[in-house]
Amino acid sequence: MPDKPFPSVHPVRPPGDESWAAYSDPSLWSYLVDEASDIEFCSAWLQLMSKIISGVRTGVVVLSQGEDAPFVPVAVWPASGAETLKHTAVIERAAKERKGVVIRDGGEAVGPLNTEPLLCIAFPVLSAERIFGVMALRITQRSGDALQVAMRQLQWGTSWIESRMLKREILLARQANERVSGALEFVAGVLEEPRFSAAASSFATLLATRLQADRVSIGFVKGRHVKVRALSHSAQFKERMNQVRAVAAAMDESLDQERSVALPAPEGGGAVVCRVHGEMSAGEGERAICTVPFFDSQGKGLGAITLERPLATPFTPHEIELCEVVAAVVGPILEEKLRLDRPVIVHAAAAAGDQLGKLFGRGHLVYKTGFVLLLALVAFFCVAKGDYRISAKTTMEGSVVRAITAPYDGFIAEAPARPGDVVRKGAPLARLDDREKRLERLKTYSLSEQYSRQYREALANGDTVQMRVLKQQLEQARTQLKLLDEQLGRSRLTAPFDAVVLSGDLSQSLGAPVDRNKVLFEVAPLQDYRVRLHVDEQRVSDLKPGQRGKLVLNSLPDSDFPITVRKITPIAMTVEGKNQFLVEASLDRLSARIRPGMEGVGKIFVERRLLFWIWTHEMFDWLRLWAWSWLP
């Protein structure tokens, strides 16, 4: 507990003192209770503080009009304000330190020796982190306790202004919430309607009901002027064309200034041109009119909303702000619905107009440069020529495919060759088991010798009939013997020429029986190939024998081989759902790395044609066929 009581905040004044009478003046206190402007409120407050605190010579109240706005004097006492600048130092210090400050009238901080006749005291008006303003007084010199009493009284007095500022912040926040909630309500109503006309009419009617307006008009920019698209409480407005033209002119006036126009103009609204609005109001019988424009994200004017009601109820700043918020949110949505409701032809024309506007209008340097380059590129392709070539998938094949068959019924004894092996002429491919054939040959040979001996005996005996029979048997035995020799000679299967084995893997079938004339191997020559190209039926008419081209194989992408078309098969085949013709070509340059069965892509040169035709002829051919199939 302190040793002495807390000093009184109200100095004792004699009942007849004139200043005390002014302090008790109810008219000053009424400004602190009733609704008043900032100037009236702060002036009354400053007069009261000059009476509550003794020895006040001058005072000033400075307030900030925004969070980052500078301080502006709103009230001075005495009213002449001749010494207002003498409070500057103490105001700046109080605002910087955010607490009460006392300095001498010359600007120095108060020390233990107070010899100056006047002191400057100031106290900031704070709320959380924000400073609303500063109250400063110049008072007479006094002791420490008396100075503390003066500072306490000034601090007490700032609560009035702080309360007023907080009430205003709460009111502004409430109004902002109302504007946002109202805007969301209007957005929900607009989004419920799928078509523009219904959405715009519903929005205009809802806005008229909300703001008690007799008529709400919505217009959108078309060309260089605004065209009214919807009215509240009405879907048809052709019979009101004079009124509609006047509303459209008022919308043009607002959009030209890029700001809202209200008549009568609200206080503090700034200077605006409202000649058209005045003429419209006079023509309608003296009415209150408010026009609010809305813009896209690029700042381009999209349209405007005009509200009308009796002159006795002019539009307030709060209502104008609500209309501006609603127009900024709902306007672009309605414009999008209007744009989407247009026919396809209008859409295309608008898109073309936008592109032409970018091309021939101001700005868009990159777009124009790109268009010029594209135009130059198209012109180049329409003049320049290139090689017209037909591409097709290709397969390498041997010019001849030789089948190696089994010479007789037998069993596999050896099979050294496998598919893919390169063999020279006479190299063994396989060998059949010949033991049975050799035994049969031995038997036939013995029988042949027996017939020969019997024939000689019959010849010695002169038995002509027996001679003829034995001669026939001997010739038959010798023929059978030659056949067996031939078969034994063919038991070893060899390559007929230098070749590559295409098929026939008998290495896993040793000892297996084989039938006579069964194909055991297929071989192709190494130095003689043909190229098979699968050409699409739409391009085959451009080919003819003798044309040259190039071939690139999948396994040899680093090399290309010249080819020449030899034959075009006149029968189509279906490959992967497409009709294709088989074209045969010869390989003009051989390579040891080429093998039958390799695949790749071949390109046949036809002639030189325009690059534009080369890249677009397939599309035009498809369009011709499509048109032919659909046209009657």
For residue range 395-420, list pLDDT tens digits in order.
888 777 778 788 877 788 787 888 87
What is the average pLDDT across 583-595? 84
The count of other CB atoms within 10 Å of the CB of residue 38 is 18
- Distance from chain centroid for Cα 213: 42
Q: Which helix (H) or strand (E) holds 131?
A: strand 130-140
Over the Cα atoms of the chain, what is R_g? 56
Per the model's pLDDT, the better-predicted residue between 542 and 3 turns out to be: 542
Return d(Cα 164, Cα 358) in angstroms, integer: 53
- Rounded to an integer, what distance in angstroms lies between the CA atom of residue 395 and that of residue 553? 9
Do 454 and 447 form a contact (C-beta atoms < 8 A)? no
DSSP 3-state of 226: strand
Q: What pLDDT, on a 0 to 100 scale, did the predictor assign at position 9?
A: 39
**How far, in Å, CA of 518 to CA of 541, rounded?**
42
pLDDT in tens, 335-367: 888 888 877 787 777 778 777 777 777 777 888
User: Which one of 103-112, 398-407, 593-602 scores highest in mean pLDDT?
Assistant: 593-602
CATH number of 528-625: 2.40.30.170
Rounded distance between C-alpha atoms, residue 627 and residue 616, angstroms? 17
Question: Above 90 in pLDDT, residue 491?
Answer: no
pLDDT for res 52: 81
**Cα 53 to Cα 59: distance, rounded to the nearest angstrom:** 11
Burial of 632 (0-12, 13-18, 19+ CB in 10 A): exposed
CATH number for the segment(s) 193-341: 3.30.450.40
* pLDDT, tens digit (0-9, with 9 covering 90-100), for 61-83: 888 876 677 888 888 888 766 66
3-state secondary structure 419-485: CCCEECCCCEEEEECCHHHHHHHHHHHHHHHHHHHHHHHHHHHCCHHHHHHHHHHHHHHHHHHHHHH
Confidence of residue 307 (pLDDT cuts 50, 70, 90): very high
DSSP string covering 555-616, please? TEEEEEEEEEEEEEEEEEEEETTEEEEEEEEEESS--TT--TT-EEEEEEEEEEEEHHHHHH
Q: Does residue 12 surpass a pLDDT of 50?
A: no
Q: Judge whether residue 16 has pLDDT over 50.
A: no
Q: Taking the model in full, what pTM does it have?
A: 0.47
Answer whether residue 233 shows pLDDT above 80.
no
Cβ–Cβ < 8 Å for 321, 296? no
Average pLDDT, the chain: 80
Nearest to 502 by CA among 596, 599, 425, 610: 596
With a cut of 50, say whether residue 6 has pLDDT above it: no
Q: Which residue has the higher pLDDT, 21 or 350?
A: 350
pLDDT in tens, 54-64: 888 888 888 88
Q: For the domain covering 402-522, report its CATH number.
A: 2.40.50.100
Find where tokens 């009942």 sit. Answer: 15
In this predicted structure, the answer to whether residue 306 has a pLDDT above a threshold of 90 is yes
Is residue 29 very low, low, confident or very high in pLDDT (cuts 50, 70, 90)?
low
Beta-bridge partner residues of 395: 532, 599
Per-residue confidence at 18, pLDDT binned at 50, 70, 90?
Answer: very low
For position 448, what pLDDT does the model report?
82
Query: b/e string for 111-128 if b means 16 or more Cβ within 10 A?
Result: eeeeeeeebbbbbbbbee
Of 174, 166, 91, nearest to 127 by C-alpha is 166
Window from 17-31, 428-442, 445-459, 480-494 with minimum mean pLDDT:
17-31
Alpha carbon distance 432, 492 (integer Å)? 6
pLDDT band at 238 (very low <50, low <70, confident <90, very high): low
Do the two domains 193-341 and 528-625 of this chain adopt the same fold? no
DSSP 397-410: EES--EEEE-SSSE
* Structure tokens given for 407: 């010479």
Which whole-number Å values give the CA distances from 518 to 387, 514, 521, 614, in the listed order? 50, 7, 9, 52
Q: What are 276-305's pLDDT values in tens digits?
A: 888 888 877 778 999 999 998 888 888 999
Res 476: pLDDT: 85
- Whether the per-residue pLDDT at 260 is higher than 60: the answer is yes
Residue 578, pLDDT score? 82
Q: Does domain 18-171 have CATH number 2.40.50.140?
A: no
What pLDDT is attached to residue 130? 79
Domain ranges of the chain: 18-171, 193-341, 402-522, 528-625
Beta bridge partners, 568, equal 583
How confident is the model over 181-199, as a mean pLDDT? Answer: 78
* CB hemisphere CA count around 553 (13 angstroms): 20
| Inter-CA distances, 306 with 264, 303, 321, 387, Å | 14, 10, 14, 66
